[in-house]
Amino acid sequence: MAWNEPGSGKQRDPWKDSGGGGPSPDFDALLRRIGAFFNRLFSGGGGPGVAILAIALVWVAWDSSAIIKANESGVVLRFGLYAREMAPGFNLKWPRPIETVSPTLKRSPLMTCSESTPDRCAPTMYSK
């Protein structure tokens, strides 16, 4: 029996609402609610304190992470003093005035430095 066979008495069209699925989501109403929320947040409906708090929370969430590349390690300075070292990957830290991270390159065991120029190391093919 095909879905559009005449005489069955039921609405069998799969593209029309059968009435049993409940109300469809109203995306326009959702967008209006989100827009009203931001309008209230930044136009004085919730007060300037709410907007400042929202901005501060976004800043803390954004500034509390550090991504260290695979060939680096991160040196964490807390109030300008050495605190710890971060491993490669995603790491969490305190926001910027408290902790700062400076990525530094790791030295490979296959790298040698001459005594006259220790800051410029050249990779070698063989370890000594």
For the stretch 109-125, pLDDT in tens is 555 565 555 556 555 55
In angstroms, rounded to a whole number, what is the distance separating the alpha carbons of residues 101 and 97? 11
Bridge partners of 71? none
Quote the pLDDT of residue 105: 82
Residue 79 has pLDDT above 50, yes or no: yes
**Sheet containing 99-105: which strands, arranged edge to edge?**
81-86, 72-78, 99-105
In angstroms, rounded to a whole number, what is the distance separating the alpha carbons of residues 117 and 109? 18
Tell me the mean pLDDT in the region 42-60: 76
pTM of the entire predicted model: 0.45
Angle at which helices 48-63 and 27-42 cross, to 10°: 100
Domain-by-domain residue ranges, the chain? 28-63, 64-107
Backbone angles phi, psi at 31, to 5 degrees: -65, -35
Residue that is written with structure tokens 């300075």 in the block = 77
In angstroms, rounded to a whole number, what is the distance separating the alpha carbons of residues 42 and 52? 9
pLDDT band at 10; cut points 50, 70, 90: low
Quote the pLDDT of residue 127: 46
Specify whether the backbone of 88 is left (phi greater than 0), alpha (psi in -120 to 50) or beta.
Answer: beta
Residue 1 has pLDDT above 60, yes or no: no
Tell me the mean pLDDT in the region 13-30: 67
What is the identity of the amino acid at 114?
S
Quote the pLDDT of residue 39: 78
pLDDT band at 17; cut points 50, 70, 90: low
